Amino acid sequence: MGARFDITIVAKDSALAESSIDTVIAEITRIENLISDWRPQTQVSKVNASAGIAPVQVDAEVFALTERALDLSRLTAGSFDISFAAMDRIWKFDGSMETMPTAEVIKKSVEKVGYQNIVLDKVNSTIFLKEKGMKIGFGALGEGYAADRCREMMLSRGIKAGIVNGSGDMSTWGKQPDGSDWVIGINDPARKGKLFAVIPLRQGAVVTSGSYEKFVVFNGKRYSHIINPSTGYPATGLTSVTVFGPSAEASNGFSTSLMVMGKQAGLDLINRFGEYSCVIITDDGKVYCSKNLDISKYRRR
């Protein structure tokens, strides 16, 4: 999945902890071999290779993940789009970009993106991409899905506490060995290396999307590395979005979507889902939270 995974297991002895970590690694590898869109042998790669040609039958697991991603695409009206993988990579965030792409180039970059052109057949468990050149990808959901799956697997095996962290998509359960809650630190975008807040986690997941490390500035306006798949333009206005909830997969989908949707539309969306909460930091340093979270008690400044 192109991501670093950090795995923490609390167990009665080191042998059990190590064997459990090996099991988690094996599960992450299994999922990668199902959903990677850069390994040609995976089911998702086969779906992409058959775009505009024919439906491809996939496992129930891949179908269900695609179905959830498509539901999120509809829910956010394309602020999240599972077919973003077909987007031309015209934006560079490595310091090499000196001029902004033209409107024509930006428009062309997303001409193969469009969740509306994905056809799912539940009876036959097939996925069909209507247009040649279309692609689906799980870069924004895969790590969270894997983290959630590993948490469920460990709980079913009697491992009562741990963390699976897929490149910032963090799924936790149980407590630390001393009985205290796991805690998550939210980076302060305005002060590198400093924490904005430290929040306890209880049997939940947390994901942060941010633009404070990868961005470009043109004419005094800051453009995030998170691209709006509907328009091809980078997200603007928000520096950081942290989402808490029961699922790392859904939290990742929400955090990415909120970066694109912006403050008000994003808060309106997350407030519809009582199990999820969020902290938003804008480009000008203002902080906003969902209705069910009071960040003031956890702030470091």
Task: Fold for 43-129, please state it.
Answer: T-fold (1.10.3980)
**Which structure tokens are listed for 53?**
């040609």
Say if residue 140 carries a ligand binding annotation.
Answer: yes
Q: What is the pLDDT at residue 206? A: 96
**Which structure tokens are listed for 66?**
């695609």
Q: What mean pLDDT comes out for the span 1-25?
A: 94
Note whether 282 and 261 are within 8 A (CB): no
pLDDT above 90 (res 203): no
Q: What is the pLDDT at residue 38? A: 87
Q: What mean pLDDT comes out for the span 210-223?
A: 87
Q: Confidence band (pLDDT; 50, 70, 90) for 301? A: low
Q: What mean pLDDT comes out for the span 221-236?
A: 92
Residue with tokens 């948490």: 151
pLDDT above 90 (res 28): yes
Q: What is the pLDDT at residue 202? A: 76
Query: For residue 153, which of 34, 25, 14, 2 has the smallest C-alpha distance?
Result: 25
**Averaged confidence pLDDT in the chain:** 94
Q: What mean pLDDT comes out for the span 193-205?
A: 90
Q: Where in the chain is the domain with CATH 1.10.3980.10?
A: 43-129
Q: Confidence band (pLDDT; 50, 70, 90) for 211? A: confident
pLDDT above 70 (res 220): yes
Q: What is the pLDDT at residue 213? A: 83
Rounded Cα–Cα distance for residues 202 and 204 (Å): 5
Using a pLDDT cut of 70, give the percent of the chain over it.
100
Q: What mean pLDDT comes out for the span 13-33?
A: 96
Write out pLDDT tens, residues 86-112. Answer: 999 999 988 899 899 999 999 999 999
**Which structure tokens are listed for 128?**
């069909």
Q: What mean pLDDT comes out for the span 251-267?
A: 97
Q: What is the pLDDT at residue 222? A: 85
Q: What mean pLDDT comes out for the span 142-147?
A: 96
Q: What is the pLDDT at residue 219? A: 86
Q: What is the pLDDT at residue 43? A: 96
Q: What mean pLDDT comes out for the span 254-263?
A: 96
**Which structure tokens are listed for 221?**
């306006």
pLDDT above 80 (res 6): yes
Q: What mean pLDDT comes out for the span 125-138?
A: 97
Q: What mean pLDDT comes out for the span 157-169?
A: 94
Least confident of 54-58, 95-99, 278-282: 95-99
Question: What homologous superfamily is domain 181-298 in, according to CATH?
Answer: ApbE-like domains (3.10.520.10)
**Which structure tokens are listed for 43?**
């089911």
Say if residue 3 carries a ligand binding annotation.
Answer: no
Signed CA dihedral, 252, 85, 262, 63: sign only: negative
Note whether 222 and 283 are within 8 A (CB): yes
Q: Where in the chain is the domain with CATH 3.10.520.10?
A: 181-298
